[in-house]
Chains A and B, each alone.
Chain A
Amino acid sequence: GESVGLHLPTLSVQEGDNSIINCAYSNSASDYFIWYKQESGKGPQFIIDIRSNMDKRQGQRVTVLLNKTVKHLSLQIAATQPGDSAVYFCAEKWGKSGGGADGLTFGKGTHLIIQP
């Protein structure tokens, strides 16, 4: 079946370092990808998104890269801070209808640990 997954379950980085979280997707028809951050006991929080007609998008301290050739998505976080500690999920749009009320397929998540 088609799915979205992550390469590493846990990533530990030193505070101030840059981190890269990777995601592989298998649905070549997906046209929209999102990174979410989930802190303990909270709902997923939108970080950044990218459409399939782009290969890079930057936000505040975050960059998402999309490589459609190898179906790979990554999230780069610059100068990590203690508040960046969370589980990070990539998600793709899989909607079958054209109405836009489409569901997202999430990966399993990578737990990012920021060490002091």
Chain B
Amino acid sequence: EPEVTQTPSHQVTQMGQEVILRCVPISNHLYFYWYRQILGQKVEFLVSFYNNEISEKSEIFDDQFSVERPDGSNFTLKIRSTKLEDSAMYFCASKQGLDEKLFFGSGTQLSVL
């Protein structure tokens, strides 16, 4: 069964550093998302991306965050200057169409020291 893949599985970085989290959505999907989950808390929506532009973003997704689909297969989340509170599991997700179900990757655990 096709799946959303994320790399790396675990990223450790120093506060203030830039990180890029990478995702390969399912190949025929058109809608892409980033979510995050702070340890022990609920999954939170960050941003949705469709037709090569951001469709929606939450309050969490401030100017330090950006997303990009640099080619036909990758979807990245960049955090420009990481803060301690950015430490979380970041999930990429994708879906094929408007009313299709959402598939999640296994996540990247980001640890900011």
Contact = CB atoms under 8 A, between A and B. Distances in A.
A107 B43 CA distance: 8
B97 interface: yes
Interface residues of A, number: 25
Contacts of B49: 101
Interface in A64-116: 89, 91, 95-97, 99-109
B58 interface: yes
B42 A106 contact: yes
Given A34-B102, A89-B43, A103 B107 contact: no
B103 A46 contact: yes
Contacts of B14: none
A107 B44 CA distance: 9
A78 B45 CA distance: 30
Interface string B44-72: 11011110000110100000000000000
Contacts, number: 64
A99 B55 contact: yes
B107 A43 contact: yes
A58 interface: no
Contacts of A44: 43, 91, 104
B56 A102 contact: yes
A44 B89 CA distance: 12
7 contacts: A41-B106, A42-B107, A95-B56, A100-B98, A106-B42, A106-B45, A107-B42
Given A44-B104, A100-B31, A104-B45, 11 more contacts: A36-B104, A43-B93, A43-B104, A89-B43, A97-B55, A99-B55, A99-B98, A101-B55, A103-B47, A103-B48, A108-B41
